[in-house]
Amino acid sequence: MLCEICGKEEGRIKYTKVINGEKIEFYICEKCAKEKGFLSLIAESEKDETLKENKDIHTIECSFCRKKWIDIERDGKFGCPQCYSTFRPFISKLLAELNGGEKHKGKIPIVDKQILFLKRKIRETKMALDDAIDKEEYELAATLRDKIKSLSIKINIK
């Protein structure tokens, strides 16, 4: 099938365009895709087009917050940190369009993974402890309390 835009090259990429709520599929060549498709994804003037190669981007959903790209485009807000991985290529383009930057150039956080790990452990253990006390499992509660104590000591040594 020839590209439905230029009619010259072979239309290898399937695009889905939603026009007035109706889904229209068509095939275009790579050149036209570059020229029209991907960039119009970001352009504010045209609301309805989008698409990634062979995949309807409207159906991709972030597994953590359940947001779809269409929600993000509409609200201009992401739902969670994981959205950035889920929609990575689209976000790269969006950011490039917003300000021309390509990559983060600023500060990088100082992270002590070990301490953060211990902290998370303590928090989880505390929740288990509350639970044990609620259920009157005092033996378990005592063990958990000791565990919290030893985890706290480890943090202080670090």
Partner 1 sequence: MRINNKIQGMIEKPSQWIDPKGPYSEIVFSTKVRLARNLQNHRFSISSTSDEKERIFSELVDDMSSVDTFNNGYLFDMKKLSSLEKEFLIERHLVSYNLCFKSDNSGAMIDNKEKVSVMLNEEDHLSIQGFACGLQLFEIFDFLNLLDDEIGMRVEYAFDRDFGYLTTSPENVGTGLRASAIIHLPALVITREVERIVRKMRKKNLFMNGLYEKSNEVKGNLFQISSGVSFGKTEGTILNLVTEGIKDIVKAERDAREVLVKNARVQMEDKIWRAYGILRYAHLLTSDEVINLSSAVRLGVGLGIIRDVTLQQLNKMLIYVQPGHLQLFYGKKMNDYERDQERGRFVKEILSFEEKR
Name the site residues for partner 1 (rule: CB under 8 A).
64-67, 75-81, 84-85, 88, 91-92, 94-95, 98-112, 115-116, 119, 123
Residue among 52 and 67 whose Cβ is closer to partner 1: 67
Residue among 7 and 81 whose Cβ is closer to partner 1: 81
Q: Cα 142 to the chain's mean position, in Å?
A: 40
- Return the structure tokens found at 27: 């095939």
Q: Which residues contact 97 (CB under 8 A, 6 or more apart)?
A: 39, 42, 43
Q: How far apart are CB 157 and partner 1 at their closest, in Å?
A: 15
| Measured distance CA(21)–CA(39) in Å, rounded | 21
Q: How far apart are CB 98 and partner 1 at their closest, in Å?
A: 5
Strands (E), the chain: 13-19, 22-28
Q: How far apart are CB 93 and partner 1 at their closest, in Å?
A: 11
| Measured distance CA(111)–CA(28) in Å, rounded | 46
User: For 58, which DSSP code?
Assistant: G
Residue among 21 and 109 whose Cβ is closer to partner 1: 109
Residue among 20 and 98 whose Cβ is closer to partner 1: 98
Q: How far apart are CB 77 and partner 1 at their closest, in Å?
A: 5
